[in-house]
Chains A and B, each alone.
Chain A
Amino acid sequence: GAVVSQHPSRVICKSGTSVKIECRSLDFQATTMFWYRQFPKQSLMLMATSNEGSKATYEQGVEKDKFLINHASLTLSTLTVTSAHPEDSSFYICSARALSGNTIYFGEGSWLTVV
C-alpha cells in the first residue's frame, strides 16, 4: 500500500525555538496533505490543509504565523512550529491524498515536546 513517511518521529526542543516536521509520500504523488494534532486520549484535530504550490488553508483557531506549512512538491509538505511553547507539545500527524483516488494515508506521527 501507499506509504507516507514523517520525520522526525520524536523531537525535543527548547521554548522559543522553531522545529520543522517533514511529511513525504514515498510511492505516490500527493496533491493534498493534511496536518493534524492530537492531544492524549483525544480525537485528531485538523490544523490545516495544504495543496501543492499554493498557500495552506488553516482551520479556525490555528495560528498560521505560528504553524508554518509549506507544500513545495507533490511528495513533500513541512510543518514548522515557530517560537515553540510547552503547550505546543503534542502528537502531530500528517496525511496525504493521492492524485488518483480518495484514500488518505497517514504518516507515523511526530511527538513534539517543548521544554
Chain B
Amino acid sequence: GQNIDQPTEMTATEGAIVQINCTYQTSGFNGLFWYQQHAGEAPTFLSYNVLDGLEEKGRFSSFLSRSKGYSYLLLKELQMKDSASYLCAVMDSNYQLIWGAGTKLIIKP
C-alpha cells in the first residue's frame, strides 16, 4: 500500500532551527510537496521537489532523496507565526496526492 510517515508533533524554540522528516512508500513518484496549514485555514504551498537535493527558499528549505524515499523540511530562524501543521504529500504515478497526517509544530518563546 501507499504510505507517508511524518512525526505527529514537534516542539522548537523561537529563533532556532527545526527539521521535519517525511518518509514515503508510493506507487510511482511525480514529486513531493510540503504545505503549511494554520488551524482553521486551508494549506498553503511551501515547496515542490522532484529531483534529489536541497531546494532553498528563504527561511525554508526542502530536501529529497528518491532512493531512500525520504524528504525533510528545514525551518530556520523560527518565528512564532511558524506554529502550524506541516503536511508532506507525494504525487504518485496517477498524479494523485498521497497525504501524510501532518506534523504539528509548536514554537515556544
Report which of B30, B48, B102 forms a contact with A43, defined as CB distance below 8 A.
B102
Q: What count of chain B residues pass the 8 Å CB interface test?
A: 21
Residues of A near any B CB (own CB < 8 A)? 1, 6, 32, 34, 43-44, 46, 49, 91, 93, 97, 102-109
Which chain A residues border B33 with CB–CB below 8 Å? Answer: 103-104
Q: Would you list 29 pairs from A and B whose C-beta atoms are within 8 A, ordered by A residue? A: A1-B45, A43-B99, A43-B100, A43-B101, A44-B43, A44-B87, A46-B96, A46-B99, A49-B96, A91-B40, A93-B43, A102-B30, A102-B31, A102-B48, A102-B50, A102-B91, A102-B95, A103-B45, A103-B48, A104-B33, A104-B91, A105-B45, A106-B35, A106-B43, A106-B44, A106-B45, A107-B42, A108-B41, A108-B42
Interface of A is mostly: strand
Which chain B residues border A6 with CB–CB below 8 Å? Answer: 42
Task: Determine if B45 and A34 form an interchain contact, defined as CB atoms under 8 angstroms apart.
Answer: no
Residues of B near any A CB (own CB < 8 A)? 30-31, 33, 35, 40-45, 48, 50, 87, 91, 95-97, 99-102
Which chain B residues border A105 with CB–CB below 8 Å? Answer: 45
Which chain A residues border B100 with CB–CB below 8 Å? Answer: 43
A54 CB to nearest chain B CB (Å): 15
How many angstroms between the C-alpha atoms of A34 and B94 in the bound complex? 13
How many angstroms between the C-alpha atoms of A1 and B46 in the bound complex? 11
How many angstroms between the C-alpha atoms of A95 and B63 in the bound complex? 24
Q: Considering the complex, give the chain A residue whose CB is closest to the CB of B100.
A: A43
Task: Determine if B99 and A44 form an interchain contact, defined as CB atoms under 8 angstroms apart.
Answer: yes
